[in-house]
Structure 1
Amino acid sequence: MSDVIKLISPVDGSVYAERPALEEAAVEKIVSAARRAQAGWAATPIAERVAYCENALEALKAMNDDVVPELAWQMGRPIRYGGEMGGTIERTEYCASIAEEALADIERTDKPGFRRYLRRVPLGIVMVIAPWNYPFMTAVNTIMPALMAGNVVVLKHAAQTLLVGERLAKAFEIAGLPKDVFQNIVLTHGGTEKLLGSGVIDHVNFTGSVGGGRAIEKALAGTFATVGLELGGKDPAYVRADADLDYAIGNLVDGAFYNAGQCCCGIERVYVHESQFDRFVDGFVDLTKQYQLGNPLDEATTLGPMAQARFAAWVREQTDEALRKGAKAHIDVSAYSENKDGTPYLAPQVLTDVNHQMSVMREESFGPVVGIMKVKDDEEALQFMNDSPYGLTASIWSEDVEAAAAIGDRIETGTVFMNRCDYLDPALVWTGVKDTGKGAALSEIGFHNLTRPKSFHFRVEH
């Protein structure tokens, strides 16, 4: 008898959906069908592959009115924010616009008598192990370029967002995608590890925890599959003395608390120049107090529950530890009636008098808490920003582009922002350093990571 994967809604703790996990024989059948489908799909012209993906996007757009409340039930994002369709559209459309160029042959014409060129060829079967926090956008980051590049895709979505995989499968079905080119599967962790260790998967893209990434690499050991890992983060912001303070406050509060802080590149720690510190904290706290914690299906709610109660418990633990060590809390959480221990409903919190001996400033929180520290200059800010095992993004708030660029060159991170945060630009590569993982998505480099280079060296005159 197969295991059952249950989706427990953070809204009320009910079982919102449940699906049987596939057994090994069924998985083998699916993967074998994918392998058979791949050759024909790779032989399909790029323009046609792109068109299928664009048609699937149109099908997804038509589902959005149903998807928005469905997402609220699955992972707690308030319906007032309208789901993820904007980012899904932007990333898919940009991917489609560069596919031909990114996958085009590179001709070497400097040697008479020869025809020499490099070609990008698909890897084969790409497995996407997608997370729950942005379940559509993170999935399409790999699914769309993988398909456009001629790979077939097997999607295993997070248990917390089971229905997203089904929505994506339905969209591709409506688009008329050839059979077995995209398949959505439901697996246990053990079943996933067994599939990865079987050697039949050519590339794996995983977004999730550092521990999850290590488990993926361990399962893949010896298979020689390529892998892309986006793992933990502790993304910092630095507010310089010359920053537009009101603008920085508005954007950083949103960057810290949107999606209940459950954002891969959300702001988790802020360093503020001493000349701006008091005014920044006052403004940041005042704006944070305007958040309305509650049921995500209520239009008035601006801060929904975290996806699971255990995630909220970790943030509470980090906050309590910081307070025991001398941090100051600026938000009276007792003012939020929904904020209750043992539930995923967690009030936002702003901490000062924090330091890097506190977990809240070093370990990923992935929730609605942010620590703010005073710094004396750029050098001290750099020291603190780099004092982390993670490196996904960092943001600098300044009116001096050259100074921001100089600081950015020295920050150990995959992306540096100036005067914005918590955003993925599909024209720029998405990558990380240190324990944040390896590999890359988006831009033409995303296509390159989903293909392999093949050289053609022909002597045409002899």
Structure 2
Amino acid sequence: MPDVMTLVSPVDGSIYAERPIATEAEMNRVFRLARDAQKSWAKLPLETRIDYCLKALDAMLAMRPRIAEELTWQMGRPIRYTPFELNGVEQRTRHMAKIAAESLAPLDSGLEFGDHGAHRYISREPLGVVFVVAPWNYPYLTTVNSVMPALMAGNTVVLKHSDQTLLVAERFQDAFDAAGLPEGVFQHIVLSHDQTAAAIAGRKADMVAFTGSVAGGAAMERAAVGTFIAINLELGGKDPAYVRPDSKLDFAIENVADGAFFNSGQCCCGIERVYVHELVYDDFVAGLVDVTKKYVLGNPMDSAVTLGPMARARGAAMVREQIAAALRGGAVAHVDPKLFPFDREGTPYIAPQVLTSVNHQMAFMTEETFGPAVGIMKVRDDAEAVALMNDSKYGLTCSLWTEDLDAAEAIGRELETGTVFVNRCDYLDPALTWTGVRDTGRGAALSPLGFHGLTRPKSWYLRRAPV
């Protein structure tokens, strides 16, 4: 096993960072410190824990220019966009701070009936040590979803970040150190996959919060077999959009394009398949193709670039193969890659693509693509759209584009998904819970339910002895 983790930048293929992988002794020390610090951390008033988190947020926001440049070099998102990931970090952290007291408040069950009524209530207790295993595609946003509420709830946290975004974990550490967090309350560590599995199997933590691939989620579950450790999994997606004939078409086109191509399509809730009513199908396809051709693919450090490279060349290769297989099966490509000179085989730079004449026998419409490519199918009515949207092993979000909100709610009740968006997509609202069905994972993040997933219920029955 290599003793160094290497981060290769998709911008130019250079080595951007290298960090030593923790030894077994170092790993044991980190988790032991977290365990030792947890009880005293949990005894602090909730307001104090929240204050530490808000101070860390302020410290992170002060690093915005540095973080933005590092993020572009690490995973390839254009520099014109990377400063704004911290906007979401701020929004989510402040919202979680706002709802923490209510979310963690005891559930008062009142007095027992009878002559000697007892007071009954259920409190929320921290789980202990939360092990956060974070991905690279939205490395600050996905991490904050678990780290901040875990700490507010009285847990300690050990963060293991993706090898593609090693520096993100260090910036979280810098922020919490600047906030003056007690030793052991928040730590980051560089681990291999095998070490991550060993930490879980060895019960070094009381919960694992994992965001990543379906295969990665399965590995988490295998490691946890027999340990009874709680695992929250946010995995893959093949998120659909349905454009009804009463939609504001220009608005739908603009937003579906953004939902499909932002972050080079590397978003678990990005739009990967679109079902369009036959009455507006031709106009929608023409409009989406026109918008797609206006993207600027290039070096993401250039402020004029709107589409950067994918984070890894192997990811781009998989997207190219999915497209090629669909074309062999009869799909029609509407965007000539030659319009994008930076598109080069064997590199992470790949042109955006729109395919029609696709079907659900193609992997392109059923397997996660996770790249800047989208397929469009014509449908006759709402019922056909619902059937196709539900024909997936995933279920994170879906979006409906219509002016009839009553119809949207009726359709939404038929959809098997974690979130229904109407006239919006590729978005996460911290007031709503982030969850999914089937291979998208299990558990919930954000909202009061996110706090519940990071705590355990404890029942209380208080009765005076009879006189």
SS of alignment partner, residue 242 of structure 1: coil
Select between 105-114 and 209-218 the one with higher mean Cα deviation. Answer: 105-114
Contact 1:71–1:83 (Cα < 8 Å) also in 2: no
Residue 269 of structure 1 corresponds to 273
Q: 1:292 aligned to 2:296?
A: yes
Contact 1:75–1:161 (Cα < 8 Å) also in 2: yes
* Aligned mate of 1:213, from 212, 217, 224: 217
TM-score of the aligned structures, taking structure 1 as reference length: 0.99
* Aligned mate of 1:234, from 238, 244, 252: 238
1:461 Cα deviation from its structure 2 partner: 5.2
Consecutive unaligned residues of structure 1, counting only runs of 5 or more, are: none
Across the aligned residues of Structure 1 and Structure 2, the Cα RMSD in angstroms comes to 0.9
Q: 1:197 aligned to 2:206?
A: no
Which deviations, in whole Å up to 9, do the C-alpha atoms of 1:171-195 show, x marking residues without a partner? 0000011111000000011111111
TM-score of the aligned structures, taking structure 2 as reference length: 0.98
SS of alignment partner, residue 47 of structure 2: helix
The 2-side partners of 1:352 and 1:152 are apart by 49
Contact 1:2–1:23 (Cα < 8 Å) also in 2: no
Which deviations, in whole Å up to 9, do the C-alpha atoms of 1:152-187 show, x marking residues without a partner? 000000000000000000000000111110000000
1:452 Cα deviation from its structure 2 partner: 0.1
SS of alignment partner, residue 394 of structure 1: strand
The 2-side partners of 1:273 and 1:188 are apart by 47
Contact 1:67–1:83 (Cα < 8 Å) also in 2: no
Which deviations, in whole Å up to 9, do the C-alpha atoms of 1:335-364 show, x marking residues without a partner? 211100100000000001111111110000
Residue 6 of structure 1 corresponds to 6
1:83 Cα deviation from its structure 2 partner: 4.0
Which deviations, in whole Å up to 9, do the C-alpha atoms of 1:248-304 show, x marking residues without a partner? 001000000000000110000000000000000011000111000000100000000
| Equivalent residue letter for 2:61 | K
SS of alignment partner, residue 391 of structure 1: coil
Residue 398 of structure 2 corresponds to 394
Q: 1:90 aligned to 2:103?
A: no
- The correspondence of residues 110-189 of structure 1 with structure 2, limited to 5 A, is 110-111=111-112, 113-189=117-193
* Aligned mate of 2:349, from 345, 352, 376: 345
1:392 Cα deviation from its structure 2 partner: 0.2
Residue 437 of structure 1 corresponds to 441
The 2-side partners of 1:334 and 1:128 are apart by 42
The 1-side partners of 2:10 and 2:84 are apart by 16
Contact 2:111–2:120 (Cα < 8 Å) also in 1: no
Contact 1:76–1:305 (Cα < 8 Å) also in 2: yes
Contact 2:354–2:373 (Cα < 8 Å) also in 1: yes
Q: 1:380 aligned to 2:381?
A: no
Residue 53 of structure 1 corresponds to 53
Residue 311 of structure 1 corresponds to 315
Contact 1:241–1:275 (Cα < 8 Å) also in 2: yes
The 2-side partners of 1:461 and 1:398 are apart by 63
The 2-side partners of 1:70 and 1:288 are apart by 27
- The correspondence of residues 61-76 of structure 1 with structure 2, limited to 5 A, is 61-76=61-76
Consecutive unaligned residues of structure 2, counting only runs of 5 or more, are: none
The 1-side partners of 2:31 and 2:87 are apart by 32
SS of alignment partner, residue 10 of structure 2: coil
The 2-side partners of 1:56 and 1:373 are apart by 46
SS of alignment partner, residue 109 of structure 1: strand
Q: 1:223 aligned to 2:227?
A: yes
Residue 374 of structure 2 corresponds to 370
Contact 1:339–1:347 (Cα < 8 Å) also in 2: yes
| Equivalent residue letter for 1:293 | L
The 1-side partners of 2:309 and 2:167 are apart by 19
Contact 1:128–1:156 (Cα < 8 Å) also in 2: yes
Contact 2:135–2:162 (Cα < 8 Å) also in 1: yes
Contact 2:79–2:301 (Cα < 8 Å) also in 1: yes
1:460 Cα deviation from its structure 2 partner: 2.5
The 1-side partners of 2:180 and 2:26 are apart by 23
The 2-side partners of 1:121 and 1:44 are apart by 13
The 2-side partners of 1:90 and 1:441 are apart by 15
| Equivalent residue letter for 1:87 | G
Which consecutive aligned stretches of 4+ in structure 1 deviate over 2 angstroms post-superposition?
Answer: 110-113
Contact 1:428–1:442 (Cα < 8 Å) also in 2: yes
SS of alignment partner, residue 126 of structure 1: strand
Q: 1:17 aligned to 2:21?
A: no
Contact 1:31–1:200 (Cα < 8 Å) also in 2: yes
Q: 1:36 aligned to 2:36?
A: yes
SS of alignment partner, residue 310 of structure 2: coil
Number of residues paired by the alignment?
462
Residue 77 of structure 1 corresponds to 77
1:2 Cα deviation from its structure 2 partner: 6.1
* Aligned mate of 1:418, from 408, 418, 422: 422
The 2-side partners of 1:7 and 1:204 are apart by 24
| Equivalent residue letter for 2:21 | A
Which deviations, in whole Å up to 9, do the C-alpha atoms of 1:18-59 show, x marking residues without a partner? 001001111111111110100000000000000000000000
